[in-house]
Amino acid sequence: MDAQKAARVMDELAKLYPEARPELHFSNPFETLIATILSAQCTDRRVNQVTAKLFAQYPDAFAMAKLSPEELEPLIRECGLYHNKAKNIAAVCRALTEHYGGEVPNTREELMKLPGVGQKTAGVVLMAAFGDPQIPVDTHVFRVSRRIGLADAGTPEKVELQLRALLPKEIWTFGHHLLIWHGRRCCAARNPACERCPLNEELCERHMESDEKSSK
């Protein structure tokens, strides 16, 4: 897809979701980091329910670092994958207190040194906590961008590179939220609602390919 067509895609999504924004609840970089770790394969709504109680009891890295993974597990069980998440969160909090004065670092390089923090999580923290333009690729961004034709790479890391090259930097953050909102509200993994998608006639490459095949 060329840049002009990509711009039309983003314009249509912006009309559809002008209020697109993060749906995780957080108030500082530490909360952003922990909530993002918990959000893996879990809904934002469920994460918000868990973090409301978690952050009230353990509001910063120093407080949470006092917990062992075994003590963390029952507090985050509802988010799923709680064994690994508890292990990573405990290790992250220790790293923050031991090497960063309890503060979350504000560079990708330093963030990705933290246990369990990969490219997507680092991008979300930089974007949401520090206002740095980013376009992190989660499962929704990966699926929707490939379906529409904004990207065709086979990994989230490579899709992010393609989106960075295709879209202007000033719309990366809003574009990230637009693709997530479209994935959650229309372009679902199973049974996407193509019939009510504003992109399906001229802008969605998957839909146009399906039309071509059905007409043959």
**Which residue matches tokens 């961004």?**
141
Is 200 contained in some domain?
Answer: yes
Could you read off the pLDDT of 130-154 as tens digits, one per residue?
999 999 999 999 999 999 999 999 9
Q: How many helices (H) and strands (E) does the chain have?
A: 12, 0
**Size (the chain), residues:** 216
Domain that holds residue 10: 3-20+136-209
> Any idea which of 33-37, 121-125, 171-175, 188-192 has the lowest mean pLDDT?
188-192
Are the CB atoms for 167 and 8 separated by under 8 Å? no
Same domain, 72 and 156: no
Is 215 contained in some domain?
Answer: no
Are the CB atoms for 64 and 94 separated by under 8 Å? no
Is 42 contained in some domain?
Answer: yes
- At which of 69, 100, 130 does a domain end? 130
Residue type, 43: T
Same domain, 122 and 53: yes
Is 121 contained in some domain?
Answer: yes
- By annotation, the residues acting in catalysis are 120, 138
Are the CB atoms for 18 and 177 separated by under 8 Å? no
Same domain, 82 and 57: yes
Are the CB atoms for 1 and 150 separated by under 8 Å? yes
Same domain, 40 and 109: yes
Is 181 contained in some domain?
Answer: yes
Q: In the chain, where do the E strands start and end?
A: none
Is 216 contained in some domain?
Answer: no
Number of domains in the chain: 2
* pLDDT at residue 207, rounded to an integer: 63
- At which of 84, 101, 130 does a domain end? 130
Burial 115-144 (b: 16+ CB within 10 A, else e): eebebbbbbbbbbbbeeebbbbbbebbbbb
Confidence band of 209 (pLDDT split at 50, 70, 90)? low
Is 142 contained in some domain?
Answer: yes
Inform me whether the pLDDT recorded for 23 exceeds 60.
Answer: yes
User: Which pTM does this prediction carry?
Assistant: 0.90
* pLDDT at residue 54, rounded to an integer: 97
Same domain, 107 and 44: yes
Query: Residue range 2-13: average pLDDT?
Result: 95
Domain harbouring 182, CATH code: 1.10.1670.10
Could you read off the pLDDT of 111-124 as tens digits, one per residue?
999 998 999 999 99
Same domain, 72 and 107: yes
* pLDDT at residue 38, rounded to an integer: 97
Same domain, 8 and 92: no
**Percent of the chain, pLDDT > 90?**
92
- At which of 130, 164, 187 does a domain end? 130
Query: Residue range 48-64: average pLDDT?
Result: 97
* pLDDT at residue 201, rounded to an integer: 79
Domain harbouring 86, CATH code: 1.10.340.30
